[in-house]
């Protein structure tokens, strides 16, 4: 009976912790400090910049389609204090490196093999993106990637860039 009570307590705590870490529009974006290529990066280092976080994995088929678009976004809006930061969730870095050889990234790539950042952002699928405003608050979160989504997502990004206070 003691084990069952402990298990129920742990499950309830995990649920509360998960709910508390979920990032909704208007919430302060959860902080991170992750290894990248070539250096570590903290979310705090990007203060004053719009950040499109993109969570991805090497096995994710839609990620292959999203990387060229993310490259375009980075090139198009870099002069407007906008930065794409992709967070890889593969357990093995070699899988991510092979993906990046095939689908180059002209934006910052970070690595989180433990998946703590994805948990903090309550990511439910690959790829998922989170737009963070210059003030460090979540603007929107989007799961998946389809060609039909590109125009709407870019419109949301552009709207955020144009409505800076």
**Count of the separate structural domains present in the chain:** 1
- Which spans in the chain are helix H? 2-21, 61-77, 93-102, 116-120, 150-162
What pLDDT shows up at residue 164?
76
Give me 127's structure tokens: 């790829």
pTM of the entire structure?
A: 0.85
Structural domain of residue 43, as residue ranges?
Answer: 23-162
Q: What confidence tier does 71 reach under pLDDT thresholds 50, 70, 90? A: very high
What pLDDT shows up at residue 165?
61
Contact 160, 152 (CB under 8 A): no
> Which tops the pLDDT comparison, 40 or 16?
40
Q: Establish if 110 belongs to a structural domain.
A: yes
Report CA-CA distances (Å) from 147 to 10, 42, 65. Answer: 41, 30, 8
User: Using one digit for the tens of pLDDT, what is the confidence trace for 111-155?
Assistant: 999 999 999 999 999 999 999 999 999 999 999 999 999 999 999
Mean pLDDT, residues 40-56 taken together? 96
Mean pLDDT, residues 28-55 taken together? 94
Q: Establish if 72 belongs to a structural domain.
A: yes
Q: Is the pLDDT of residue 38 over 90?
A: no
Q: Establish if 44 belongs to a structural domain.
A: yes
Q: Establish if 6 belongs to a structural domain.
A: no
User: Using one digit for the tens of pLDDT, what is the confidence trace for 89-105?
Assistant: 999 999 999 999 999 99
Q: Establish if 39 belongs to a structural domain.
A: yes
What pLDDT shows up at residue 138?
97
> Mean pLDDT for the chain?
87
Report CA-CA distances (Å) from 134 to 13, 96, 163. Answer: 32, 29, 11
Q: Establish if 13 belongs to a structural domain.
A: no
Q: Establish if 61 belongs to a structural domain.
A: yes
Report CA-CA distances (Å) from 43 to 33, 129, 139. Answer: 7, 15, 15
Q: Is the pLDDT of residue 12 over 70?
A: no
Question: CATH code at 114?
Answer: 3.40.30.10
Q: Is the pLDDT of residue 23 over 90?
A: no
């Amino acid at each position: 009976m003691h084990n069952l009570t402990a298990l129920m307590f742990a499950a309830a705590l995990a649920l509360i912790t998960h709910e508390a870490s979920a990032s909704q529009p208007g919430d302060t974006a959860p902080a991170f400090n992750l290894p990248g290529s070539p250096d570590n990066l903290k979310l705090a280092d990007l203060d004053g910049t719009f950040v499109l976080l993109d969570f991805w994995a090497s096995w994710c088929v839609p990620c292959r389609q999203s990387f060229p678009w993310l490259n375009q976004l980075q090139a198009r809006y870099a002069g407007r204090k906008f930065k794409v930061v992709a967070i890889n969730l593969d357990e093995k870095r070699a899988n991510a490196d092979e993906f990046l050889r095939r689908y180059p990234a002209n934006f910052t790539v970070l690595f989180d093999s433990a998946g703590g950042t994805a948990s903090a952002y309550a990511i439910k699928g690959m790829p998922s993106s989170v737009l963070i405003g210059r003030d460090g608050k979540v603007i929107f979160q989007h799961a998946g990637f389809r060609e039909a989504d590109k125009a709407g997502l870019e419109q949301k990004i552009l709207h955020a860039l144009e409505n800076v206070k």
